[in-house]
Amino acid sequence: MVTTEAGTAERTATAGLSLRTALAGMPVITRDEPIAREAVAADFAERYAGVPAVGVARPEPAVLYTGVRSGAAGPPVLLGMYGDEDRLRGWLPGLPRHTTPQSAAALVAAGIAPVRVTTAPCQEVVFGEVDLRELPVLTTTPRDAGPYLTAALVHAGDALTGESALSAHRMLVIGRDRLTIWMVPGRRLGQLREQAVARGERLPVTVNLGVPPAAMIASALNSRFLPDGSDKPAVAGGLAGAPLTLVPALTQPGVAALAESEIVLEGYLDGTLADEALPGAAPEGSLPEFLGYDGRAKSGLPVLTVTAVTTRRHPLYQAVIGPGREQSHILGVAGALSVALSLPSAPGLHVHDLHFSPAGGGMLLLAVAVRKGSAAADRALPAIAEEVVRRHPFVKTVLFTDDDVRVRSAEELLWAMTTRANLGADCVELPGHPPVPMDPSQTPDWARARGGTPDVPPRTFIDATTPYRLRAHTERSFRSPSD
């Protein structure tokens, strides 16, 4: 590649606004021995990953692979950055200590609009020729369709409607300058692309790698639950306590890059489609999904064409391996905020905290700690559970506990289920919701193998709370330290 360098003013950023700043304030394991990029993910999974990637409950360290062999001398590969929730929370002073409807609403109200700049760290080096194959894009397992971008945020905006999108997607490199992109149906980016194509236009985008931690968490919020006048970049500013910086793309007018990113791909989405497979291959597997199982490739996906690559000097290439603590914390922290923003109120019931367990990949198992103020609260839980699974279709099980249970502790949740629930009576079915195909237990084949009908398995909620009139009988002998 031919490169040119663009001057940029020196800036300082908080940990929430710069991956590089966050990384500088934490221990990092450096692996400098030569390693093929096809072997990096397996090495990380074996040595460092936690549930649900492997059956070990452990936080994941940040690991920098500096000896990755690729087509050229590429940047180091960073894995595990978000593999510890306490570490993640330390970067984001605006993230509430307890996730409740009130604290989530306060975070959104405290949002800070991004600042637009004309020069930025992410454009210090500009590549005059695009060849995505020179980046250390990982192939996670030998069964993968090919090399995937896994920790990249796509930023787009519609100049006519004022709508914007900031979201992560799996993207398969299918050529020097082309990627397929899988968008869950109904996501904002897909809607913006469809609107542009209907007008006979292209949708300009930037693909941002090595992004600010605040942007990564904000990107996983569900846009449907943000009030009018708020967007994900503003929420990222609220999380970090200071605004994100955006810089205009060099080759795609009307769209901006996240200025503190390590690497940026500029490009566009149009009506072009391709199968999620390398040229000449049929679509089969994709890559490991967040629950720990191999994914299935899609046919006829939108193609993203890349028109420029810009980077910091000496950039880092960030990735996730799919399942594991890292992905679970990104999805779970943002998911809890999304649920909190969408929860209906219930008489006599106060939500104390919300948490998505890594055991469900940060999406399937939701723990809700509540405080009951009246007997009416006993009857409010079924309606809340029904509303949660209706509005958040990945949620499979809602576990209600009392507010003396720490919902971020797996042992505490098991203790509550063991001593404050009788699952034969307190595990309640919520039928009529579509399955999540990534979960093998939500398939007709699974139901048949269990001896049942091939009907869609129902969602459930578990009431592991104390009945209001019996509260005095279940006080803990020892109070937990303040959390």
Percent of the chain with pLDDT over 70: 96
pLDDT of residue 473: 87
CA 439, CA 345: separation in Å to the nearest integer?
A: 30
pLDDT of the residue at 295 = 94
- Reduced DSSP (H G I as helix, E B as strand, rest coil) percent helix, strand, coil of the chain, to 5: 30, 25, 45
**Domain 343-474, CATH:** 3.40.1670.10
- Reported pTM: 0.95
> To which H or E segment does residue 428 belong?
strand 427-430
Q: Are 197 and 206 in contact (CB under 8 A)?
A: no
Distance CA(239)–CA(230), nearest Å, equals 13
Q: What is the pLDDT of residue 2?
A: 37
Mean pLDDT (the chain, rounded): 93
Q: How confident is the model at residue 458 (pLDDT cuts 50, 70, 90)?
A: confident
- Angle, vertex CA 304, rays to CA 298 and CA 309, nearest 5: 135
Please tell me the distance from the alpha carbon of residue 338 to that of residue 291, in angstroms, as a whole number.
Answer: 20
Residue 371 · residue 403 · CB < 8 Å: yes
Model confidence at 72, pLDDT cuts 50, 70, 90, reads low
With 0-12 / 13-18 / 19 or more C-beta atoms within 10 angstroms meaning exposed / middle / buried, residue 461 is buried
Give yes or no for residue 8 having a pLDDT over 50: no
pLDDT above 50 for 4: no
Helices (H), 180-306: 188-198, 213-219, 232-240
| Domain spans of the chain, in order of start | 3-8+90-321, 343-474
pLDDT score of 141 more than 80:
yes
CATH class given for the domain over 3-8+90-321: mainly beta
**Tokens 């074996």, located at residue:** 46
- Confidence category of residue 70, pLDDT binned at 50, 70, 90: low
Q: What are phi and psi of 90, to 5 degrees?
A: -65, -20
Q: Kindly tell me if the per-residue pLDDT of 402 is higher than 90.
A: yes
Q: Indicate if the pLDDT at residue 365 is higher than 70.
A: yes
Is the per-residue pLDDT at 10 higher than 60? no
Q: Is the pLDDT at 9 greater than 70, yes or no?
A: no
Tell me the mean pLDDT in the region 119-124: 97
Per-residue pLDDT at 11 exceeds 50: no
pLDDT at 335 over 60: yes
pLDDT score recorded for residue 185? 86
pLDDT value at residue 231: 95
The dihedral formed by the CA atoms of 82, 85, 91 and 95, expressed in degrees to the nearest 10: 130
The strand pairing partners of 28, in sequence order, are 62
- Indicate whether 410 pLDDT > 70: yes
d(CA 263, CA 250): 14
Eight-state DSSP code of residue 82: T
Query: CA-to-CA distance for 203 and 249, rounded, in angstroms?
Result: 13
Residues 6+ apart with CB under 8 A from 452: none
What is the mean pLDDT of the segment spanning 283-300?
95
Distance, C-alpha 468 to centroid of its chain: 36
CB 447 within 8 A of CB 455: yes
| pLDDT (0 to 100) of residue 69 | 79
